[in-house]
Amino acid sequence: MTDMPMMDVAFAITGGPVTRDYAAALHAALCRALPWLDDEPDAAVHPLRGVTPVDGRLCVGARSRLVLRVPQPRVEDCIVLAGRWLALDEPLRVGPAQPRSLLPHRTLYSSLVITGDAAEDRFLAAVTQAVSLWSTACQVIVGRAGTCAVDTGSLSGFSVMLHGVSPPTSLRAQTEGLGGYRKFGCGVLIPHRSADAVGS
């Protein structure tokens, strides 16, 4: 875990649409634009926000965002993305950067966590063990199964919600994430209003 505060850097995006399995292409495009990204162990890339499924693809609209989670000293390094085109199947143009501090929240959610365990019982055990290292008692809720296409193939996992997280642990959980492949959008924990929507 980094000793530096983590921050989210959000960018409006235009262009697209993008394919549902865009993660590997987005990762490659970001690494070309930010050569340090893969060498920054705590950095993560959120799943694209505000994209709408239409005819098997994801349409980019006025509320669509690309969000990177990085140590605070890397915020300035991210700003070079503004105005760039990211070469996906249909290019995305990146707008101005909006840095945001992480805030503690009692309910955290990730749409897809990858632990290497495809069976739900083993997956739950792996996530529960990871959460226990944060020395906190919280409810772990496993939701829908999903997949992520990465450079080496397709990986299986589940959505996860953590409920009843203490403020210090909430910040640590958002900093460290759950499971692997965080630069492909997996295991990035974000605040959620309710524990009722884990399957959404």
In the chain, domain spans: 6-101, 107-197
The CA radius of gyration of the chain, in Å to the nearest whole number, is: 16
Residue 80 DSSP class: G
Rounded-to-integer distance, Cα 23 and Cα 186, Å: 9
Neighbours of 43 (CB within 10 A): 22
Task: Determine the Cα–Cα distance for residues 120 and 192; give it in Å rounded to an integer.
Answer: 22
Element (H, E) at 63: strand 57-71
Q: Which residue has the tokens 């409920």?
A: 163
Domain pair 6-101 / 107-197, same fold: yes
The pTM (predicted TM-score) of the whole model is 0.90
Q: What is the pLDDT of residue 56?
A: 87
Q: Where are the alpha helices (DSSP H) in the chain?
A: 23-33, 75-78, 120-132, 167-176
CATH no. for 6-101: 3.30.70.1890
Listed residue (173, 180, 176, 179) closest to 138, CA to CA = 173
Q: For residue 56, what are the contacts with CB-CB under 8 A and spacing of at least 6? A: 20
pLDDT in tens, the chain (200 residues): 556 799 999 999 999 899 999 999 999 999 999 999 999 999 999 999 999 999 889 999 999 999 999 999 999 999 999 999 999 989 999 999 999 999 999 999 999 999 999 899 999 999 999 999 987 778 999 999 999 988 888 999 999 999 999 998 999 999 999 999 999 999 999 999 765 444 44
Q: Which CATH architecture has domain 107-197?
A: 2-Layer Sandwich (3.30)
Contacts of 30 (CB under 8 A, 6+ apart): 37, 45, 68, 81, 86, 183
